[in-house]
Amino acid sequence: MPQSVQAAVYRRDREAYDRIQNTRTAKDLAKIDASVLQISGCQDNQTSADGIVNGLFTGTLLEVWRGGAFAGSYRGLHREIVKRMPPDQTPNLFQAGAPNSAFVRQRPFTI
């Protein structure tokens, strides 16, 4: 979505978006029964580079994933993406909810 459209939608619905953001706290994460794993495009103190088709993180993820040929774990996928990214954009691997070490070790994007 073009940034100009994103900005217009946010301005239009700012109250709703801000209310949602302000009602979520770190304490809410402790209430999650599921195991949640998030790989984000950068650290909280960084910004993610954009591109014409994908952002740098998404493009790199697709490159590492190789159409499903990647055979490692989520942790391995994250590690390989980080190796290919510039030092000013370091993807984050974040776990929330119920601890599940087997989940982190499984092949990504499988059920």
Span of 21-25, 65-69, 99-103, 104-108 with lowest mean pLDDT: 21-25
**In the chain, which residue ranges form alpha helices assigned H by DSSP?**
3-12, 14-23, 26-29, 56-65, 74-84, 101-105
pLDDT value at 62 more than 90: yes
First and final C-alpha spacing in the chain: 29
For the full predicted model, state whether its pTM sits above 0.85. no
Q: Does residue 76 have a pLDDT over 90?
A: yes
Please report, as a single letter, which amino acid is at residue 109: F
Mean pLDDT of 46-66: 95
Domain segments of the chain as ranges:
30-105
- Phi then psi for residue 93, to 5 deg, are -110, 115
Residue 18's contacts (CB-CB under 8 Å, 6 or more residues apart) are: none
- The fold adopted by the segment(s) 30-105 is Alpha-Beta Plaits (3.30.70)
Q: Mean pLDDT for the chain?
A: 90
Q: What are phi and psi of 33, to 5 degrees?
A: -80, -25
